[in-house]
Structure 1
């Protein structure tokens, strides 16, 4: 292992170039979003609807890779906005002529919605709802008459309804079906596995293979479920493709064979498996799926325990790729889970909603920051910087690390978007002579912003802000406008909001991401312990897919530690111990998947459980890697009749030794310091 897990820092130029690189499907959804933005601009400008820039920006929240999700989200948002406008109207009746009461209502509604954002299933959209309600009450207060306020609410509804209508039509016409995306993703995984197995994968393909292995199968299964609702998937095809969606066994075995010299398959055997995967991928790309897959593999030489284990797993996974379980067969329950207490019923609120003070603190902090910004631009009589109020809701998250990361992306994105928008005002807008040319300008800006927004989560939010700032600059009304002060004010407002949120979230009840990392780590260790004892291949694959995806999220959280200020961030020893423990879990992943269900595999599960020893303390997450190497060696001495299991234990011992070698300098220094009187 060249480095420890969780070594994620702020992306540099090379990392940004990698994050901006194309991948299958990226250009398609980016072009679709840009087209919807251009058509929305045409409708709003043609009818002179106020808030045209915001209407075009809403398009970015409505679209997903498949048409079914995009259409459902559009209808759901339309219903939600209608309800919100109704709530605003009720409060407006009692508060429109009483500014103190209106401000109090804004703060009360903001606190309630933000509390629900932190403590309930409203989390994905709660902050946005709080922002819309608060800003809506503020805008109604500016209306001189009740009739003007009513007309303003109607325009607010149209501001959302127009992009939703355009998005529904475009998605129904050109967006791909969820079944097509599911089969295309399965085909991509098989092709990447074929190249990885034969050693012909490029650096980009190896990175894509790793990403696919860490994604799990949740998204593919979701697409298949949507295909059933859409009516494009028959029950028989659905059962077969749901079975095919579980590619974890193929990906893990392939990665183990390619990364471990002792598990490498003979060239002829690897070439035959790769050819079979390529043929299966071609069938999936054509809209079907492979059936009756038969592999006649040559016998491996005597003593090749690991290659034989890899070959057996790959052969079973490929031959049963699209073979659904017998009708009526229930999914087996692992022995370790038979005595477990049944899970609590999931309700709207989280289990700790009314016992964890962090939920109340989050709502109070965000509401206080937003209301401070509101009072600031009202007292300055500077409506142009009202984006500071919006920013407080857009960038606030439950932990300090996530909040600082998001506001960093917002600042970078808004500066880039304002620069592009200002350049367009100066050099392009004066030359526009028709609405078609304005549509072309909007299409170009939306395409660039969507390319960033539809990429990795590490930079996606910057793309949203590029779009927001660009649209505010170039779409200023029903006719071309050249007001540069608009771009200036919007950027100033965003920067003020970011500064306020940063000060509040790092100085008032700061919440480190460390507690979430520890809780997730314990859950991950427990998951791998269950996998080690799972005798059924379907159960093992489902559990492993979830664990691999959970590992990716935990690694990302550890990387976010670098965004926390020094007075919030845990000690360097804490971070090093968590990175080391995560690296040890990574070393166990493939052996646990390959050994699960074999006699004696529980010994590997015991090693995983030992990784959690001491995790309840703040300074040490796991036993030192050197101790784990000794435990692995002792397990190898305890021979069983299964040479493959012994070989896997040897692999674990060697990997733990590499981790110990990496951490030895820091450990040695720490030991010397502790030994001094």
Structure 2
């Protein structure tokens, strides 16, 4: 654990720049808020961390939407109070209803920040009506929250416009090339029979790049998409390729660090092929030696097998030279994504997530009012901040919340109040202290594995340290706020892990099944229709969901390490298999999707035999998705059940048909192995 945390804190490309931007935005917002004596400083300061930094455009858009969301939350609050004449029971019911809706929005939309922001701010302002204060002052306090939020978001957006990246496409090309170069060098050393020292030296750069993860590259991808920039020579499906490359780096690093003494002719031969393939992939060219790459899904057991499988998934993505740099295929802007994820709003797991969040928030609200301890009202806010993020890997997040709360609230927050604040007599010293905490929180939040700890450090520190416009003079309020955080974590642990537990692999199975259903929907979608624009719009929505699901599954795969129990190793193995299956499903999807944007291949959409093939594939993949949930083996179906041998050998459609059937056979092999796991 300590080794992984230390690795996670190491410098990675763009991390210092991002941390400094957060630091500058924090200092600007702090000075303005203190000068104008704005309430709710801790909320405004925390949301600086949540403003999108993929591009200045995204920062402005997310900032504007956040301010509108704040306004909507306050409008609902005032409406509840006016209609109910400030009835206490109606306030409790409103907390339950609003947090349920917020949880559903987080789990079922492509804009989860809206739900979490709305729920957080509503619970913050509705709780103020429990105080014995004049209604006029409470209404003014609620309206001041809009101003506080606007200042914080405006500061973050201003900094992004001044110092954001200007050429993300070139940086992304460089980042992916660096990774392939490191892989090519390491496997060349193995192929040449290098010494243990040489192998270790070659594996270290691969390990460092693997630790950096895919977050930085995905951020560059989002910048290209949102700003409509020139994609250079980036290939189709860049987001999925980034995730695939990150998986390749992970397994290659594990192989390089664990096999420094192994050597054999077969090992050298296989490493030489891998090195050659990586060398070809550096300039984004069409691979020439795919058939030489050994790959058998049924025999994918060793680390080198897994390296070959990950590389195989990359090599089987569409690589038509005419589509290189096509902005429509490289990156899809967020504005093209639908608000609701197709089919997600009514799913049982979505409703369950909303109910669990609602139960936690309502319990905390009732507890602090029942014991008449308003100081721990931060429990409700903590539930919203920490719970409304996603619906998987709860044990990991609970652990990260606890660590972040202890570091930010106990050591930094209470430590500053008891040791530093009594000796601080100017805004300069406060800015230095807050800047220090903001920087280390932002640096921690920039890591690929423990980033959630950084967010919780900032949230807990601000919650404890900013009680009013002046430095705290008593420890009791800060102590109460910290206890509120701990109460919320205890309630969430009880609800999410004891009353209503969901294992991470269960969520991953649901995600994979949903992804397979999406692939099947797309196969049914690509048929001739009078409005091609409508076809592309629906296809883009499915494409966006495929990419996000793979990223989410990879994140949850990392979180399985935090599962406990005697079957932990089986869960780790199952999660790895689910991730591999999703990558193969992604390649099948993209080999079909690329046809939509190929002017030369429009007849592939109208050929009757291919239309029938896609219909049969969709039906089969739907059954496979059901089998993933029920843990049943998919039926073995020969290739001629989908397409005639004549079509497989057709000079025009043969290659496309054979590639489609080959990807399906690989998907079937993975699904079959997955059915044997927990």
- TM-score of Structure 1 vs Structure 2, range by shorter chain: 0.5 to 0.7
> For residues 217 and 467 of structure 1, what CA distance do their matches in structure 2 show?
24
1:76 alignment partner, one of 57, 61, 65: 65
1:133-532 superposed matches below 5 A: 133-142=122-131, 144-177=133-166, 180-199=167-186, 202-203=202-203, 205-207=205-207, 222-228=222-228, 233=229, 238=230, 241=232, 244=235, 261-262=269-270, 264=272, 306=292, 321-322=324-325, 348=340, 351=343, 353=345, 356-396=347-387, 401-418=392-409, 419-456=411-448, 458-522=449-513
Is the contact made by 1:117 and 1:127 (CA closer than 8 Å) also made in structure 2?
A: yes
Deviation at 1:19, TM superposition (A): 1.8
Is the contact made by 1:420 and 1:470 (CA closer than 8 Å) also made in structure 2?
A: yes
Is the contact made by 1:577 and 1:620 (CA closer than 8 Å) also made in structure 2?
A: no
2:99 alignment partner, one of 94, 106, 110: 110
Is the contact made by 2:28 and 2:155 (CA closer than 8 Å) also made in structure 1?
A: yes
Deviation at 1:416, TM superposition (A): 0.3
Deviation at 1:439, TM superposition (A): 0.9
Inter-CA distance 134–350: structure 2 relative to 1 (3 Å threshold): farther
Q: What is the total number of aligned residue pairs between the two structures?
A: 586
Deviation at 1:513, TM superposition (A): 4.3
> For residues 610 and 104 of structure 1, what CA distance do their matches in structure 2 show?
43
> For residues 152 and 78 of structure 2, what CA distance do their matches in structure 1 show?
23
> For residues 350 and 33 of structure 1, what CA distance do their matches in structure 2 show?
34
Is the contact made by 2:112 and 2:389 (CA closer than 8 Å) also made in structure 1?
A: no
2:119 aligns with 130
> For residues 224 and 114 of structure 2, what CA distance do their matches in structure 1 show?
25
Deviation at 1:585, TM superposition (A): 7.5
> For residues 187 and 3 of structure 2, what CA distance do their matches in structure 1 show?
23
Is the contact made by 1:70 and 1:171 (CA closer than 8 Å) also made in structure 2?
A: yes
Q: Which moved more, 1:510-519 or 1:583-592?
A: 583-592
Inter-CA distance 484–245: structure 2 relative to 1 (3 Å threshold): farther
1:637 aligns with none
2:627 alignment partner, one of 616, 624, 627: 616
> For residues 576 and 509 of structure 1, what CA distance do their matches in structure 2 show?
24
> For residues 45 and 140 of structure 1, what CA distance do their matches in structure 2 show?
24
Deviation at 1:47, TM superposition (A): 2.5
Deviation at 1:245, TM superposition (A): 6.4
Q: Which moved more, 1:136-145 or 1:557-566?
A: 557-566
2:32 aligns with 43
Inter-CA distance 482–242: structure 2 relative to 1 (3 Å threshold): farther
- TM score, norm. by length of structure 2: 0.67
> For residues 493 and 254 of structure 1, what CA distance do their matches in structure 2 show?
38
Inter-CA distance 468–212: structure 2 relative to 1 (3 Å threshold): closer
Inter-CA distance 349–96: structure 2 relative to 1 (3 Å threshold): farther
Inter-CA distance 93–114: structure 2 relative to 1 (3 Å threshold): same
Deviation at 1:155, TM superposition (A): 2.2
Q: Which moved more, 1:408-417 or 1:156-165?
A: 156-165
Is the contact made by 2:80 and 2:86 (CA closer than 8 Å) also made in structure 1?
A: no
1:5 aligns with none
> For residues 553 and 180 of structure 2, what CA distance do their matches in structure 1 show?
24
The two structures, once aligned, show a CA RMSD in angstroms of 6.0
Deviation at 1:27, TM superposition (A): 0.8
Greater RCO, 1 or 2 (C-alpha within 8 Å, sep 6+): 1
SS of 2:384's equivalent? Answer: helix
2:47 aligns with 58
Is the contact made by 1:66 and 1:181 (CA closer than 8 Å) also made in structure 2?
A: no
SS of 1:480's equivalent? Answer: coil
Is the contact made by 1:388 and 1:494 (CA closer than 8 Å) also made in structure 2?
A: yes
Q: Which moved more, 1:505-514 or 1:132-141?
A: 505-514
> For residues 411 and 494 of structure 1, what CA distance do their matches in structure 2 show?
9
CA-to-partner distance for each residue in 1:215-260, whole Å, 9 max, x for gaps? Answer: 79975554234324xxxx5xxxx3x538556568998899999978
CA-to-partner distance for each residue in 1:402-431, whole Å, 9 max, x for gaps? Answer: 333322211110100120223323443333
> For residues 290 and 52 of structure 2, what CA distance do their matches in structure 1 show?
50
Confirm or deny that 1:20 pairs with 2:9: yes
Is the contact made by 1:70 and 1:168 (CA closer than 8 Å) also made in structure 2?
A: yes
SS of 1:21's equivalent? Answer: coil
Unaligned runs of 5+ in 2: 189-201, 253-266, 295-310, 331-336, 527-535, 596-612, 637-648, 650-654
Is the contact made by 2:236 and 2:318 (CA closer than 8 Å) also made in structure 1?
A: no
CA-to-partner distance for each residue in 1:1-20, whole Å, 9 max, x for gaps? Answer: xxxxxxxxxxx111112222
- TM score, norm. by length of structure 1: 0.67
SS of 1:30's equivalent? Answer: helix
> For residues 62 and 347 of structure 1, what CA distance do their matches in structure 2 show?
19
> For residues 590 and 617 of structure 1, what CA distance do their matches in structure 2 show?
18
> For residues 618 and 165 of structure 1, what CA distance do their matches in structure 2 show?
45
CA-to-partner distance for each residue in 1:381-416, whole Å, 9 max, x for gaps? Answer: 222111112222233369875333322211110100
> For residues 116 and 254 of structure 1, what CA distance do their matches in structure 2 show?
29
> For residues 386 and 48 of structure 2, what CA distance do their matches in structure 1 show?
19
